[in-house]
C-alpha cells in the first residue's frame, strides 16, 4: 500500500466532497515529505533525514486505520 490523502470541502451545493489520492511510489512519497512536511512546525529544528524517517513511521501508523472510499457506499 502507499500513501493516502483525504481532502474534503464543500461543493457548490453545500455537499461534502471527498477526494482520495493514492501513491505508492517511494521516491514521490519521499520528495513530497521533503517539499511539504519539512516546513511543518512538527519538524522545526530537525534534520531532513530524521524528519523523513519520522514521517514514514507516521504513514505506517496511518495504514493501521485507513479505510479506502467505496465507490458504491460513498456516493
Residue 37 is predicted with a pLDDT of 87
Query: Which residues lie below 8 Å from residue 52, measured CB to CB, with a gap of 6+?
Result: 30, 33, 34, 37
Average pLDDT in the chain: 79
Residue 12 is predicted with a pLDDT of 67
Residue 29 is predicted with a pLDDT of 92
> Residue 11 pLDDT more than 80?
no
| Structure confidence by residue, pLDDT tens digits, 22-53 | 888 999 999 999 988 888 898 889 999 999 99
Report the largest interatomic distance among the alpha carbons of the chain, rounded to a whole angstrom: 45
Amino acid at each position: 500500500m502507499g500513501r493516502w490523502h483525504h481532502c474534503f470541502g464543500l461543493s457548490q451545493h453545500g455537499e461534502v466532497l471527498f477526494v482520495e489520492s493514492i501513491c505508492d511510489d517511494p521516491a514521490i512519497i519521499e520528495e513530497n515529505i521533503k517539499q511539504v512536511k519539512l516546513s511543518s512546525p512538527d519538524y522545526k529544528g530537525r534534520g531532513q533525514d530524521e524528519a523523513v524517517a519520522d514521517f514514514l513511521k507516521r504513514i505506517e501508523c496511518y495504514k493501521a486505520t485507513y479505510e479506502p472510499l467505496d465507490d458504491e457506499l460513498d456516493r
